[in-house]
Amino acid sequence: MRIDKYLANMNVGSRKEVHKLIKAGSVTINGQKVKTPKEKVKENDLVEVNGQEIAYQQYHYFLFNKPKGVLSATEDLHQKTVIDLLKSKDRYKGLAPVGRLDKDTTGLLLITNDGQLNHELLAPTKHVDKVYEALVAGQVSQQTVEDFAAGMKLKDDTVLKPAKLEILSVDESQDRSKIRITIKEGKYHQIKRMFGAVGMKVLELDRLQMGSLHLDPQLKRGQYRELTEAELEKLKKSGE
């Protein structure tokens, strides 16, 4: 790999900025100053910029607690995206959210540039569980639980796989229910459409789990951290 691409991929700077660093003599490979941006870097080479080691990492994985009002997208001309909430040093090339959470939906979102893992987690044939908690306008009953468990057919003829619905609480005076739901697919506005089909409306929706990956309770809305090696290993297995 060329040294300028290596450093740009590691977010040291743009290609133009990297070229300036090389021209200034700030970049070394195994202690030797780099003279041209075209110089090649091998896997075991020691790359430093101003004496600081820049280790290469091909893929990056961030566990993100999505807040309301932010798009699950890589970029948008008019609205803020989850990528915009990452620190500048963490905005690696190719990062994208795995799946989408609606603008007003909160909770667990995985952001990565590992396209293969992204595919494995979202592929319909993989049936990776997604767990949500929601506040619903309406009184969820055992009949609702059974309807969801049987698999639903929506008004537009969309056929859904069986879903596990748990009633956490029902407030009859407020005509509201708190529920937990586990689905194995991620169709457009799926949970909102499911409750709409039984005459109810989702007021708040929060994703807690995707495959083996759980939302970190230490992360506040809008905060994120890198996945641990153990989390990544388990997540890859859940997508197999």
Q: Angle at which helices 229-238 and 115-122 pack, to 10 degrees? A: 50
Tokens 């049936």 locate to 127
In angstroms, rounded to a whole number, what is the distance separating the alpha carbons of residues 124 and 101?
A: 17
Tokens 């090696």 locate to 229
Q: Which of these is catalytic: 102, 104, 147, 216?
A: 102
Starting at the earlier edge strand, list the strands of the sheet with 52-53.
32-33, 27-29, 47-49, 52-53
Handedness of CA 169, 106, 216, 180 (dihedral sign): positive
In angstroms, rounded to a whole number, what is the distance separating the alpha carbons of residues 38 and 4?
A: 7
Is 147 labeled as catalytic in the residue annotation?
Answer: no
Which positions are annotated as active-site residues? 102
